[in-house]
Amino acid sequence: MADANVGQSDLPLFVFPDMLTTLDVHCTDRRTGQALSGVEVAVGAAGQGHQTDDKGVVSIQEVFVGQNPVRVVAKRNGYKTVDSTFKLIAGLKRQELHIKMSKYHMPIRRQCYRYK
C-alpha cells in the first residue's frame, strides 16, 4: 500500500486560479536607485531561488495567495540581506514588489606591523 503523504506540498488540495499570482520583484540600490542584477530572490518558506535580470526584475509564477503573508528573502554580495513578509491580494493575476537594498559596509580593520 502506498504512503498517502508522498508528493504532497504545502498547497491546499484544490487550488483555484484566483489563488495563484505572478509576483514581479524589482530590486534597486537604496542610495542610487540603480537596478540590481544578480539578486537571489526566494519566495515562501522553502522558496526556490530566482535571480534578477539586467533590469533588476525577476518574475516568479504561481505564487500561492493565502491568508498568511508571504516571506521574501533577497540576497546579493556586497548588500545587506532583505528578509521581510508581504501580504498578497487574492484575485490579482500579477503583483509587484519593490525591494530597496542597502550596501554592506565592512569596517576597515587597521593592522600594525612591526618591522625589525
Tell me the per-residue pLDDT of 52-83, one tens digit each, with 9 for 90 and over.
999 999 999 888 887 778 899 999 999 999 99
Q: Is it the case that residue 5 has pLDDT exceeding 50?
A: no
**Strand positions, DSSP E, the chain:** 20-29, 40-43, 49-51, 57-64, 70-75, 82-86, 94-101
**Mean pLDDT, range 3-28, rounded to an integer:** 67
**Mean pLDDT, range 34-48, rounded to an integer:** 87
Higher pLDDT: 9 or 91? It is: 91
Q: Is it the case that residue 30 has pLDDT exceeding 70?
A: yes
Cβ atoms of 28 and 57 closer than 8 Å: no
Q: Is it the case that residue 9 has pLDDT exceeding 70?
A: no
Name the pTM for this structure: 0.73
Phi, psi of 17 (to 5 degrees): -55, -30
Q: Is it the case that residue 28 has pLDDT exceeding 70?
A: yes
Return the pLDDT at 105. 77
22-101, what's its fold? Immunoglobulin-like (2.60.40)
Q: Is it the case that residue 110 has pLDDT exceeding 80?
A: no
Round to whole Å and give the CA distance between 78 and 110: 20
